[in-house]
Amino acid sequence: MLLLSDADVERLLTMREAIDAVEGAFGEYARGSALMPPRSTMMLSRFGGSVSLMPSYLEETGALATKIISTYPRNPERGLPTIIAWLAVSDPETGALEALIEATYLTAVRTGAVTGVAARYLAPRGSRVAAVIGCGAQGRTQAWALAETCPLEVIRVHDISRERVRRFIDEMGPRLGVDIAAAGSGAEAVRGADIVVTATTSREPVVRRGWLGDEVHVSAIGSFYPDHRELDTETVAEAKVVVDSREAVLAEAGDLLIPIGEGAIAEDHIHAELGDLVLGRREGRVEGDGLTIFKSVGLAIQDSAVASLVLRKWRET
């Protein structure tokens, strides 16, 4: 059995390849050639964390994998990442375990990649200014994916930790070749931005409608609990909303469930799933669109697709 570390994955994987792989996975999902049971999550309230099990199979790609992922928002205080993950990759024909992949880095990359896919269809044309709220590992790969997808000139970043902001700027500025500026608040970060990404574990909105311009794309990828949200109700109610999976977001995403509970929107406020845009079944951004939102809670098909790519590249080396 093959054992790959985060360092191995980082050496083998590029963001552009991950974006293409994730886009293909959403196409498979929309065509009905993917198997993906709902995420099973166990909350460990005593420790302020959760552990989830995420299996999936992509028939066209031939990718079968199961991820075990933990989310502990207080981990940075312990010197550990908020998200820790492992992927078990199996042979779909025999069920034999082929590889065990440390997937903390892979999870961050595939989450960035789905924002890159969504931006291809929903970001305003010629977007130059992006804002990233949340400067952890997820925020880094969000910025990386947007820099691969859009002609960015400036990325403004904000986090409750000034140290995380400093590390983000020191690491990602030279890597992306884009000016990265620290913002003193979320409102300052998003003002005048063409694209806004939220990558936090916040219970309360970190972006509000009054802070945003008229034509903005927002990618909300941080929260996946029913009582957590990163966007206020006004932002969600005004926007064209695209999601990774209707079933998943209506079970897990407070960004939608809370406005639905308030009576501000109904379930049919969701315009489309991302796979519908990939296959051309529904339109993404069109002339006259103002706010667009991509809400993702993270799907197991993203992991299977990127794990399959990593294994193929390892075998080719």
Tell me the β-bridge partners of 270: 241
The length of the chain, given as a count of residues: 317
Residue 121 DSSP code:
H
Strands 63-71 and 129-133, sheet pairing: unpaired
The active-site residue out of 67, 240, 295, 313 is 67
Q: Is 67 a catalytic residue?
A: yes
Residue 124 DSSP code:
P
- Cα 140 to Cα 158: distance, rounded to the nearest angstrom: 12
Distance of CA 90 to the CA centre of its chain: 24
Sign of CA dihedral 253, 254, 259, 262: positive
Tokens of 226: 């029913």
Tokens of 164: 């995380």
> Cα 4–12–60 angle (5° rounding)?
85
Whether residue 279 contacts residue 31, with contact meaning beta carbons closer than 8 Å, is answered with yes
Tell me the β-bridge partners of 71: 50, 83
Whether residue 237 contacts residue 254, with contact meaning beta carbons closer than 8 Å, is answered with no
Tokens of 33: 């050639």
- Cα 65 to Cα 95: distance, rounded to the nearest angstrom: 10
- Which residues are catalytically annotated? 67
